[in-house]
Structure 1
Amino acid sequence: MDSKWMLAEMTQPAAETALGKGTAILVTGSVEQHGGHLPLGTDAIAALTIALRVAERIEAPVLPLSPVGVAPYHLPWAGSLTLRPETLIALMVDVCGGLAAAGVRRILVVNWHEGNTPSVRLGADEMQRQHPVRVIVAESHVITNSLYPDEMEFTHAGAMETAAVLAHDPGLVDIDQLTGGDPVNEGTKGHALFRRRDVFPVMKDFREVAGTGWYGSPDSVNEARAREIIEEVADHIVTSMDEISTALVDRQPEPEEEER
């Protein structure tokens, strides 16, 4: 994947030009266990892979933030890392300051980790309160599942997350190390409990969902199909950004007249 849109790999003059166009992309993911067949950084890899494809379409730089997200319930597995919610929020707000100073007025946050969602929303709100920016959040894992509900199951380390890693680097997927995950129906039932939106428990340990740490059908997707899906997810994000930006123009409150 061409990384010419990575801000950290640009020279300062190139970065100034890119940021001067007014839009930038932040990426949030996670470093957590994904069985024996996917890397710890699957969520971070997925978000970055999609963000870079969006960047190509809208010609906006992708910023470094942190591959680590909010994932305390994965800590029973060695290698899993977590941030406190307030740390992720502070990172987003602090980075936004430099973007705003460089002329950025629209920021896209591409997230691929459910555990980040509350912090990302709070961070986006604080970014807008402290800086003259509009923040749009793309929950890329939700988009992938909603576009292909039968093909891209909303599991953990299953087909959807395998597809995201395959689209980035097939060498990071080791199907030979695939060991028995929890039955899909049991994992889905467990996850549904924590995904309720009316009355719900707060997850303490991912083993409450899947004792093995994962469930799904990671061997049901191939590289070619994975790349197609990720491209279409990027297209969906760009289309949605345009729709949102257009709609918001008509909904801006009239500026208050200054008292004389």
Structure 2
Amino acid sequence: MKDKRAVYLLKNMTWPEVDEALQNVEYALIPIGSHEQHGPHIAESCDSVRAEIFSEMLGERLYPKALVVPTVNFGVSPHHMPFSGTITLSPNTLISLLRDIVSSLYQHGIDRAVFVNSHGGNDDTLGAALDEIREEFDVTLAAFKYTNLAEEAIASNVDSEYFGHACEREVSEVKYLAPEILREDRIEKGKIKEGAKVKKTALNLGIDFDRYTENGALGDARKASREAGEEIVEEALDRAEELIEEFMEVD
């Protein structure tokens, strides 16, 4: 990863520093992850760590317009509950939490925010959150799952029939963003169960994940590389920067 540049990270700021930053800040980036199993080779904080680091890198690019809010470390993960350690929120709980975050920011004069999501299980809930929160407050909101913005890099670096979780794509990202949460000596190919049907797209499963895989992983993480992770993350950053700047110009 490249050297750190200027960025507004709310978790590291005092209130006078925030007060001064608000003279420049136009919107907030709200990282949203999950706490769930990621096979035998990635720590369960994976989604939250990726969301946080990606948002900080994006905040550097969008400085001084963007304020990066502390990460929401839990998400909607009921389909991973058969695996030990997973903690899930109900959709209503996540919506309520985001409502309170947006409300607090609104009271400080920030009326625009982007949910930066790293967990596919949050997608439907975030769509509902956008509608519910906008109905209550006079705010402008958007949301995206960042890996959905890296189609070209993923297509050129992932060839597994079934992928999307603790796979070569996700492990490559971790090698680039946060190698300390990876168990290099435990990397395994996903043990897909006979008859499992998993789309070669972002996952949105309505049944428990252990119905698909014995070890909690998909794809073949053995094929992962830091270089592939860099391609995926940097393409997503380029596209996210472009989309947010375009979106924020809309009155």
Query: Does TM-score exceed 0.5, indicating one fold?
Result: yes
- One-letter code aligned to 2:235: E
1:184, distance to aligned residue in structure 2 (A)? 10
The answer for the alignment partner of 2:210 in structure 1 is: 207
The answer for the alignment partner of 1:148 in structure 2 is: 154
Residue 121, structure 1, aligned to residue 130, structure 2: no
1:95, distance to aligned residue in structure 2 (A)? 0.7
Is the Cα contact below 8 Å between 1:49 and 1:167 reproduced in 2? no
The answer for the alignment partner of 2:44 in structure 1 is: 40
Task: Give a deviation string over 1:128-172, Cα, whole Å, max 9, x none.
Answer: 222222112121122234543231464210122112222222222
1:223, distance to aligned residue in structure 2 (A)? 2.3
The answer for the alignment partner of 1:29 in structure 2 is: 33
The answer for the alignment partner of 1:169 in structure 2 is: 178
Task: Give a deviation string over 1:24-66, Cα, whole Å, max 9, x none.
Answer: 1101111111111111111111211211111001122211242
Residue 135, structure 1, aligned to residue 144, structure 2: no
- One-letter code aligned to 1:85: P
Task: Provide structure 2 residue ranges, at least 5 long, that are not aligned to the other structure.
Answer: none
Larger displacement relative to structure 2 (228-237 or 141-150): 141-150
- One-letter code aligned to 1:126: E
Is the Cα contact below 8 Å between 2:38 and 2:166 reproduced in 1? yes
Aligned partners of 2:136, 2:158: CA distance in 1, in Å?
37
Task: Provide structure 1 residue ranges, at least 5 long, that are not aligned to the other structure.
Answer: 197-201, 250-260
Number of residue pairs aligned between Structure 1 and Structure 2? 242
What SS does structure 2 have at the residue aligned with 1:27? strand
The answer for the alignment partner of 1:79 in structure 2 is: 85
Aligned partners of 2:193, 2:154: CA distance in 1, in Å?
17
Aligned partners of 1:233, 1:152: CA distance in 2, in Å?
15
Task: Give a deviation string over 1:220-260, Cα, whole Å, max 9, x none.
Answer: 232244234312211110101123334x34xxxxxxxxxxx
Matches for 1:89-104 after TM superposition, within 5 Å: 89-104=95-110
Aligned partners of 1:238, 1:230: CA distance in 2, in Å?
12
The answer for the alignment partner of 1:254 in structure 2 is: none
Aligned partners of 1:101, 1:172: CA distance in 2, in Å?
36
Residue 13, structure 1, aligned to residue 21, structure 2: no
Give the alignment's Cα RMSD to 1 decimal. 2.6
Residue 190, structure 1, aligned to residue 198, structure 2: yes
What SS does structure 2 have at the residue aligned with 1:56? helix
Distance 1:18 1:147, change over 3 A: farther
What SS does structure 2 have at the residue aligned with 1:129? helix
What SS does structure 2 have at the residue aligned with 1:109? strand
The answer for the alignment partner of 1:255 in structure 2 is: none
The answer for the alignment partner of 2:220 in structure 1 is: 217
Larger displacement relative to structure 2 (231-240 or 4-13): 4-13
Structure index of larger Rg = 1
Is the Cα contact below 8 Å between 2:166 and 2:219 reproduced in 1? yes
